[in-house]
Amino acid sequence: MTRVALLSRSANLSYFQPLLQGLDPALDVAVWPDPRSLEADVAVCWNPPVGVYDDMPNLKLIHSIAAGVDNLLDGQRTRGLPVCRVVDPQLAQGMLQYVLWCVLTFHRKLDVALANQRQARWQRPPQTPASECRVGLMGLGELGSAIAAVLPGMGYRVNGWSRRPRLLDGVRTYAGEAGFDQFLADTDVLICLVPLTDATRGILNRETFAALPRGAAVVNCGRGEHLVAPDLIEALASGQLRGAVLDVFAHEPLAPTDPLWSTPGVIVTPHMATMPAAATVAEQVVANIRRLGQGAALANTVDPARGY
């Protein structure tokens, strides 16, 4: 019998238990902090307790419940064990919808209209064509590329930046440190979609904001650790940035006392940009458990050293 541990220090993952056992009734599933979790062969995780893998002598596989794995690796020693993520085709569609809402918010000046509403002010914000709004996609992986395939057809001027050179139809692309500042200079709405690595931690900082055109907007739907929050608040207060939409935070849920809740120009959403369906997660986890038992190659493995 394979024992599976559902590990999280910030979320209740118990809803996965019936889904996993519905696909394989032989699975023994324990939910953290049940002590039986430490005897598991497979860890299914979201933001697991730091150091927990070292206390699991039988552990053979670490599996994310999401497309990202940084929350599984941060402060953890994986002991050379395989790490897998979830790949859901619907993730890209969900992220596209969220990013489109953000782009429309700033392009059509809906943020201004909402601010006017709070003051009962009837004032139409000046409207401009989509061709005058430059959207910068920071990260051209699966999600960034899917968004880049749609926005140009809606009239937006789309720029993309990635660690390595990429070629995408209808998109002006930049790469590496050499191209970063020019990419930022050509961007009115910056969308952060990069994976969290040592190189990207804190990338949304004072220097990045200063390189954007004055009055630009920032959207972070990557990882909370990409953002240096005090630098954002400072850039908004100075007028260097007009606004920001934040969906991810270094510590979730966002504390009620966090200043981001009440910072003028900031829209907070509760990590809802996109997420895999729970049934899809369960299916992919169980499929990899079976592969593990058969000694077959696992699906959707990642390199812990790179973080993706």
Q: How many Cα atoms are found within 13 Å in the side-chain-facing hemisphere of 267?
A: 23
Catalytic residues: 223, 271
> 3-88+276-294 and 89-268: same fold?
yes
Cis bond leading into 230, ω under 30°? no
Q: Are strands 266-268 and 28-31 parallel, antiparallel or unpaired?
A: unpaired
Q: What fold does the segment set 3-88+276-294 form as a domain?
A: Rossmann fold (3.40.50)
User: What is the Cα–Cα distance from 26 to 1, expressed in whole angstroms?
Assistant: 6
Q: pLDDT of 80-116, one tens digit each?
A: 999 999 998 889 999 999 999 999 999 999 999 999 9
Domain ranges of the chain: 3-88+276-294, 89-268
- Whole-prediction pTM value? 0.86
159: which strand partners? 136, 172
User: Which of the following CATH numbers is that of domain 89-268: 3.90.280.10, 3.20.20.70, 3.30.360.10, 3.40.50.720?
Assistant: 3.40.50.720
Q: How many Cα atoms are found within 13 Å in the side-chain-facing hemisphere of 49?
A: 17
Q: Are strands 241-246 and 216-220 parallel, antiparallel or unpaired?
A: parallel
- Cβ atoms of 167 and 144 within 8 Å: the answer is no
Q: pLDDT of 239-258, one tens digit each?
A: 999 999 999 999 888 999 99
The residue ranking higher by pLDDT, 67 or 259, is 259
The residue ranking higher by pLDDT, 68 or 26, is 26
User: What is the Cα–Cα distance from 175 to 162, expressed in whole angstroms?
Assistant: 5
